[in-house]
Amino acid sequence: MWHVKERKDCDRLFNEQLQRMQTDSIDMYLLHALNKRSWKTAQEHDVLSFLNDLKRNGKIRFAGFSFHDDLALFKEIVDAYPWTFCLIHLNYVDCDYQAGVPGLEYAHKKGIAVQIMEPLRGGKLARHVPDEITEIIGF
């Protein structure tokens, strides 16, 4: 989304992505890194209609978004479009960070599949694993 400055950028970027992947359609396509600024850009340049056009023309099957902001904005975005999936930051330490567990539950109630990024917090949660755990998993 940070490369979108006007509506025609959406088409250009999408076509470049198709060329790089050497395909003519994508199953799961997401708007990357939605936050207050990029969501405003998406609204100003009618990116949701762009997604509708891609789906109608068989260029994508499922539309989603990745998210990096607060819960209120997450809910606004979830409610703005018939998303198939979303990608949120979540782990057992960051339960209330960004969308957090409340966002996970909200998306689930709306029938949106949720994928998790940072489940191990960039590997930090996998360091210094207690001996009891390493014995159980066989490290």
Q: Write out pLDDT tens, residues 7-31.
A: 999 999 999 999 999 999 999 999 9
Average pLDDT on 98-110 reads 97
Report the pLDDT value the prediction gives residue 139, as an integer from 0 to 100.
63
Domain 7-137: assigned CATH number? 3.20.20.100
Q: In what order do the strands lie in the sheet with 113-117?
A: 26-34, 60-67, 85-89, 113-117
How is the chain split into domains, by residue range?
7-137
d(CA 19, CA 136): 46
pLDDT tens-place string over residues 105-133: 999 999 999 999 988 887 777 777 778 77
Residue 47 DSSP SS3: helix
Q: What is the mean pLDDT of the chain?
A: 93
Residue 123 DSSP SS3: coil
Neighbour-count burial of 77, counting CB atoms closer than 10 A to its CB (0-12 exposed, 13-18 middle, 19+ buried): buried
Give the model's confidence band at 104: pLDDT under 50 very low, under 70 low, under 90 confident, else very high: very high
**Residue type, position 6, single letter:** E
pTM over cut 0.95: no
Positive or negative: CA dihedral 74, 76, 79, 84: negative
Q: 């539309």: which residue's tokens?
A: 63
Give me 108's structure tokens: 């689930």
- C-beta of residue 32 within 8 angstroms of C-beta of residue 42: no
